[in-house]
Structure 1
Amino acid sequence: MAVGILLITHPGVGSALLETATRLLGRLPLEARAFEVEFDADLAALLPRASAALKTVMGEEGALLLTDVYGASPARLAHQLVRIAEPCRRVAGLSLPMLLRVMNYGEQPLDELARTAANGGRNGVVVDDA
């Protein structure tokens, strides 16, 4: 598998999304793992564990880090990882539509998959006036 996926989220978010995606797809076509950051976590202390988690999913073409809220602690930790590990890309705003889109287009190279993730998140938001 070319690109690995690491979900860096608040507690319970990443694991629930991976579990749901697995149930919907049967199996995940890309190596994926959730790394959940406690609300009062010391990011400097977590960095070695997060780096180890990233290594477990790092694919031949790198890793895509998906995080739930831009600017929050999980996103800041993901930013630190992108700076020390390459090739990596970070996309914030994680949602189930985003994750499913990534899994359905897993053959894409890293940069394209990052754009696909962002598009999946945007396109998964629908105002239903019915």
Structure 2
Amino acid sequence: MAVRISLLLKKLDTLTYEEFHAYWEGTHANIFLDCPVIKDKVVKFTQFHFDRTLSATLAAQGTPILDFDGQVDIYTATFEDLQVLLADPEYQSLVVSDAALFSKFSESKIMIGYDKDFILDGKRV
């Protein structure tokens, strides 16, 4: 079962939402994908882009909304692979340092665990 780390991100105050999302899914994603340890250890990588309009609609209906602008999910085959990834000097110098150019990385929150699927492709599993 794959290990998943989810990182909740906040954009820098100096960027618009559009600038944040464009940089994150373009420049930063390419830096991430080109890092050698990523190619070796990551089995799945996704970004969840916060939608301010949809969130405002739910907030107006009383739904509590997290104060974050996006979420990145990184999956590795094992926890050991994740530890290798996070400790990798090239990952730290390229990916983590770049994150500071568009996000308040020090304010990020992390969850780690695994997915348990109950419905896939519209079918109960």
Larger RCO, structures 1/2 (Cα 8 Å, 6+ apart): 2
For normalisation by structure 1, the TM-score amounts to 0.29
Query: What TM-score, normalized by structure 2, do the two folds share?
Result: 0.30
- Structure with the larger strand share: 2
Which structure: larger Rg?
2
